[in-house]
Structure 1
Amino acid sequence: KVIIESSRIGDDFLKARCLSLLFDVNKEYALDYIKKNVEWMSPSILSTTMIGLSINSKEKLKIEGINELISKIIIRYNDLSNDSFCKELLAPSHKFFQDSFFQKLN
């Protein structure tokens, strides 16, 4: 939590790894972090977000406003995917995310 919340630690890959671990040990905190930060996520953190939510999509995710959150993630993905490097980096997690949540959006 300290690493993810720190403004002094600028390593987004480290923060993404911490978020991944938080999905395992404190899912509520991870989901809260995502809801608060989705609009500013770096590609690595967004990728971890999409993977974490996809892995947990089979469970009943008790997230108030899940459809809104999914929409915000898609908007952030679209913003980042304007850059070809980011789009390539996000492609596998985006595919997994789409496969997991497509029916929820339609």
Structure 2
Amino acid sequence: MLARIYRPARTAMQSGKAKTRSWRLDFQPASARFLDPLMGWTGTTDLDGQVRLTFDTQEEAVDFARRHGIAFRVQEPQEAKLILKAYSDNFATGRKQPWTH
């Protein structure tokens, strides 16, 4: 049973960084999913895949995994590059592409 400790990235539908400050511990699937023959839904016999734990810091998540004997892998977050732009740059005369309507 291997767990992944990571900080979730923001979704494509978010412009802010809400819910990206905490660290998450998810278990990797131990078995493959199967297709239910009657309804066509996917199913699994692995209940650990449904467990998602949230921690305030990376150290808390690592300590939890070590205390409970869970093998884990830490995935370091990639920091977003901050590109400072001003609205007036859209109308600058030295733009690479001319501004038109």
> Is the shorter-chain TM-score for this pair beyond 0.5, marking a shared fold?
no
TM-score, structure 1 as length reference: 0.25
Which structure shows the bigger proportion of residues in helix conformation?
Answer: 1
Normalising to structure 2: TM-score of the pair? 0.26
Decide which structure has greater strand share: 2
Answer with 1 or 2: which has the greater Rg: 2
